[in-house]
Chain A
Amino acid sequence: MYIIEVENLVRKYGDLTAVDNISFSVEEGEIFGFLGPNGAGKTTTISVLCTLLRPTSGRAWVNGHDVVREQAAVRRSIGLVFQDPSLDDRLTAQENLEFHAVLYDIPADVRAKRTEEVLRMVELYDRRNNLVRTFSGGMKRRLEIARGLMHYPKVLFLDEPTLGLDPQTRSHIWEYILELREREGITIFLTTHYMEEAEHADRIAIIDYGRIVALDTPENLKSMVGGDIITVKTRDDEAAARQIAARYGVKVRRTADGLSFKVAKGEEFIPKLVVESETEILSVGLRRPTLDDVFLKLTGREIREEEAGPLDRMRERMRRRARRH
């Protein structure tokens, strides 16, 4: 049985179609990723799966329960870590978790033990009586993950889990997540616009303008690109481009850094290129394809890979608010 099933899901906000007829399934125990630029429909899809939004049309099931007709059952099976922090700043870490425990009907005798367990897991036990207002961004995110796990959900939804966090915190959080999957067999549904983050997934759906443009393992997706990426800088880029295209039958792109094209087995190709080139080669670079290259190949655009700063996040929030009207 698939732990998540989505069938022809459509979600519109007035005239804007945020999710445009997508279908996919997620296996239990998988790490499944939604990769796409901001505004592609990732958060909207997660919101529908978490019963926060109703589909305009189409159906979805989580843990065998219909997200429209069996909402309480779906909610009991899922944990959710939102893109925007959703903790209460004026309560302590412990109080936030206790609040959650009561809402999810965790029995009183188990509550204290479970709270301690998850706090220790994310290494926040010593800070349990501090107001969340005093926590850093990374600590808040860890607390939210702890909270999302308290009721032993079958699926943990992570909406841009490491957005705005520094690399060290990011890798720590992924350590917990992977350990989690090992220990508790939980399924992880992840949305992100960071390529490196998507690499953690077993399978990725690339989403753009509300549609799934590809769905496969990261490896398979990358091999779609058709080889390694070579970048060269020469004395005469224009001439070199023509020669390379003619001699090796590849499509050459001009970029700000020089020329770029794809070949199979890049390491073996480079010596040949250097020897056979008629123009003087100044530098050569070799890169394995990344998911950004996959996206580029599929859509002709790049996923905007910059760190989303606070301004971006506020803009995102405004955009989302505008959509809801």
Chain B
Amino acid sequence: MHTLRAIYIIGYREILRYWRDKPRIISSFARPLLFLFVFGSGLSPAMGGLARGLGSEGLEAALGEAIDYTKFIFPGVIGMNMLIASLMSGISIVWDREFGFLKEVLVAPISRAAVALGKTLGGSTIGVIQGLLILALAPSVGVSVTPMMVIQLIPLMLLASFATTSLGVLIAARMRTVESFGMIMNLLTMPMIFISGAMFPLRDLPSWMDFLVKINPVTYAIDPLRQVIFRAQGLPEAALEKLPQMGLGVIVFGHTMTIADDIIVIVAFGVTMIALAMWMFSIQD
């Protein structure tokens, strides 16, 4: 019981600190807005032929109209915001270590594994909040939002956020300075987003990129979000079936990943990461 309360308060502190840092929340909107409105509007005309060669002309036209580039990257932008927030949770650990607060936590009668878990849960919640903030922009890009969609999205976002936050905590577990952590963040974040099927359709890719996409955990985190969002856009069933072949789904060894499949991958990844993070945290100097 004590451990559970301790995990809770550690997570709660993360959320409290996040919420009190309004400048950070506001500036976290900058990149998503850039992608959605600048990138999206700029590239939309060029993406018209997404549905080429997959069915009747009528179907192609309907699909092409329903899913322009801005709508296409919307799930990816949600994922991007969540990923960045999650990895930033790791920074809070390194920050605490560098500026002393971590000692207060380490000298308390709770296990270090519990500390790692608390930080991860706090960070995951922040990730979901960041994702929801972007979801609120949906109307402005022409994406319709239904209550059912939101109810389905939240657990999926929580799962995805948990996986990426535990990756951040793992990286932070033995890192000494904020600068080193920042470097790793830069090396990881953008590549992981770009090679995840969030930014461009996974159709006719060179084989090396195709491989990277398939082993990137973020791919499987964003795919369920995309599926839920597109399913709620009122497209005919026939059109929805074509989506994976358009490159708007993930096909591994000929099998199209369903949401359930994605969840299995994400959970496996997340559990591995958090187990490693808890272990690394427990190693004492």
Contacts and interface: CB of A to CB of B under 8 A. Distances in A.
Contacts of A78: 107
Contacts of A82: 100, 103-104
A103 B285 contact: no
B176 A52 contact: no
Contacts of B9: 98-99, 102-103
B55 to A, nearest CB: 55
Contacts of B21: 90
Contacts of B6: 102-103, 105
A51 B110 CA distance: 12
A84 B176 contact: no
A79 to B, nearest CB: 9
A80 B20 contact: no
Contacts of A76: 109
B285 A324 contact: yes
Nearest to B99: A84
B5 interface: yes
A98 B2 CA distance: 14
Interface string B88-129: 000000000001110111111110000000000000000000
Interface residues of A, number: 32
A75 B13 contact: no
A86 B103 contact: yes
Nearest to A95: B16
Contacts of A250: none
Interface string B134-171: 00000000000000000000000000000000000000
Contact of A84 (B100, B106, B110): B100
Interface string B4-45: 011011000100110011000000000000000000000000
A52 B5 contact: no
B100 A105 contact: no
B100 A72 contact: no
A103 B5 CA distance: 8
Nearest to B285: A53
Interface string A55-90: 000000000000000011101101010101111101
Interface centre among B99, B104, B285 (most CB of A within 10 A): B104
Contacts of A102: 5-6, 8-9
Interface residues of B, number: 24
Interface string A292-325: 0000000000000000000000000000010011
Contact of B17 (A84, A90, A321, A324): A90
A86 B285 contact: no
B284 interface: yes
A237 to B, nearest CB: 49
A80 B107 contact: yes
Contact of A103 (B20, B110, B176, B284): B110
Contacts of A91: 13, 16-17
A86 B108 contact: no
B108 A54 contact: no
Contacts of A2: none
A87 B103 contact: no
A30 B219 CA distance: 61
A174 interface: no
Nearest to B17: A90
A100 interface: yes
Interface centre among B20, B21, B109, B110 (most CB of A within 10 A): B109
Interface centre among A72, A84, A86, A147 (most CB of B within 10 A): A86
A99 B13 contact: yes
B107 A87 contact: no
Nearest to A90: B17
Contacts of A324: 176, 285
Nearest to A101: B9
Interface of A: 50-54, 71-73, 75-76, 78, 80, 82, 84-88, 90-91, 95, 98-100, 102-105, 147, 321, 324-325
Closest 7 CB pairs of A and B: A103-B108, A86-B100, A75-B109, A102-B9, A105-B2, A84-B100, A72-B109
14 contacts: A50-B107, A52-B106, A52-B285, A53-B284, A72-B109, A75-B107, A82-B100, A82-B103, A84-B99, A91-B17, A100-B108, A102-B5, A103-B105, A105-B6
Interface of B: 2, 5-6, 8-9, 13, 16-17, 20-21, 99-101, 103-110, 176, 284-285
